Amino acid sequence: MGWFPCSGPPKHKSKDGSKDGSSNKIAARTFHFREMAAATRNFRSECLLGEGGFGRVYKGQLEGSSQIVAIKQLDRNGLQGNREFLVEVLMLSLLHHPNLVNLIGYCADGDQRLLVYEYMSMGSLADHLYDLEPGKKGLDWNTRMKIAAGAAKGLEFLHDKASPPVIYRDLKCSNILLGEDYHPKLSDFGLAKLGPVGDNTHVSTRVMGTYGYCAPEYAMTGQLTLKSDVYSFGVVLLEIISGRKAVDTSKKGGEHNLVLWDQPNLRPAMADVVTALTYLSVQNYDPDEEPNQSPSTRLGTPPRMKGDFDKSRNSNAGSEIEQTKRLY
C-alpha cells in the first residue's frame, strides 16, 4: 500500500503570497511497487541509468502511458533513509520552478522506497565535465554559462522566493540534471532543510552534504545558512570553468581539493570582484532613466583593477578592499 503521514506539511508560499502548487494537497502521485516493476521491466539491467550510495536509478515507462520517467530505487541499507525520502517527497511536492526537477510520484510499498521523476535526457552536469569518453566533445563556453545561470535561478528560488526559505545542502554537479538543449534542473532534495526565519541567522543541524562542496564554516560549527549553498555553488562554478572535480584523489598531493588548489588564483581575482562591487555600490544608476545614454556614460569611469581604486569616490572603499585582500 502507498504510505504518507496523516499530518500535512507546512504550506510553502512564494514571497508574493501565492502558493507554489496548484492546491494545498501533496501533488505527487502514489505508486504501487508492481507498477514500478512493470515500468522498468522488472528492473532490468538495460534500464539502469546509474547507481550510488543511495541506490539505483532506472529509466522506465509508466503503464498505460507514453511518459518516460526516471525511477530511483533506494537501497534499504543505503545513505538515503526514510527521513530523507520523506523530505524529498515533501519538498518537491510543494516547490515548483523551471529549474527544479519535477517529482511525478513515489512508492512506499512495504519496505520498498522509490521516487519517480521526470526523465532528464542529457544526464547530469558531471557527465559532461570530466571523465569524458573518447571522441565525446566537452561543453562549449556558452552552454556552460547557460547551465550555471539556470542552476543559480533554481537556487535563488529556494532562497528568496520560497517562504520559509529552503537550504538545498547538496548542490553539486551530479545533482544538476540536464534536459533538452541542456536545460538545467536541481535534483535530489533528501538533505534539504528549512532555512532560518525571523531574527535567526542560522539553523543548527548535523553536518551533512558532500565532501568538497560543504562550506567550511558549516562543517566546523554545524550552523547552516543560505550562504552554505552559495559556497557549494562557487565550487560548482570552479568545476564548470576548469573541468576538474571538486575532489580528485588521482591528482598529486596538493591538488586533491579543487578549492585549495585554485586559491592562489582566487585571491587576486577576489580583490577585483570587491573593487567592482564597491564601485557599483556608490553609483546612482537607474536602468529606467536616460535610455539614450550608454551604460558607461551613466555609470561614469570604471575603476582600475588590481586594487588600484580611486579612493576619492568613497572614503571607506579603499580600506574595505585592503581588508578583503588581507582576508584572502
Q: What is the CATH number of the domain that holds 114?
A: 3.30.200.20
Task: Determine, yes or no, domain membership for 302.
Answer: yes
Whether residues 114 and 132 share a domain: the answer is no
Q: Do 240 and 131 share a structural domain?
A: yes
Please tell me the distance from the alpha carbon of residue 161 to that of residue 158, in angstroms, as a whole number: 6
Residue 135 has a pLDDT of 85
Pair 133, 242 in one domain: yes
Q: Do both 114 and 129 map to the same domain?
A: no
- Binding site, annotated residues: 72
∠ CA 93-98-103 to the nearest 5 degrees?
30
> Based on the structure, what is the number of domains in the chain?
3
Q: Is residue 6 part of a domain?
A: no
Length of the chain: 328
Q: Is residue 145 part of a domain?
A: yes
| Distance, CA of 53 to chain centre | 19
Query: Are 156 and 209 within one domain?
Result: yes
Q: Residue 143: inside a domain, yes or no?
A: yes
Indicate whether 69 and 168 sit together in one domain. no
Q: In terms of domains, do 109 and 186 share one?
A: no
Domain stop point among 188, 216, 247: 247
What residue numbers does the annotated binding site for ATP cover? Answer: 72
Do 240 and 266 belong to one domain? no
- Give the domain range for residue 87: 13-118
Place of cell 586533491: 256
Domain boundary among 69, 92, 118: 118
Residue 253 belongs to some domain of the structure: no
Query: C-alpha distances in angstroms, 2 versus 34, 35, 109?
Result: 12, 12, 6
224, part of any domain: yes
Please name the residue that has the C-alpha cell 528568496: 160
Question: Among 109, 105, 131, 135, which Cα is nearest to 118's?
Answer: 105
pLDDT tens track, the chain, 328 positions: 333 333 334 455 555 544 443 334 456 899 999 999 999 999 999 999 988 777 899 999 999 888 999 999 998 776 567 888 888 898 899 899 999 999 999 999 988 999 999 999 999 999 999 888 888 889 999 999 999 999 999 999 999 999 899 999 999 999 999 999 999 999 999 888 989 888 888 888 888 888 889 999 999 998 999 999 999 999 999 999 988 899 888 888 778 888 888 877 777 777 776 777 677 666 665 555 555 555 444 445 555 544 443 443 344 444 434 443 443 3
Q: Is 4 domain-assigned?
A: no
Among the listed residues 170, 188, 229, 262, the single catalytic one is: 170
**Are residues 37 and 102 located together in one domain of the fold?**
yes
Final residue in a domain of this structure, among 222, 247, 272: 247
Residue 168: inside a domain, yes or no?
A: yes
Known catalytic membership, residue 310: no
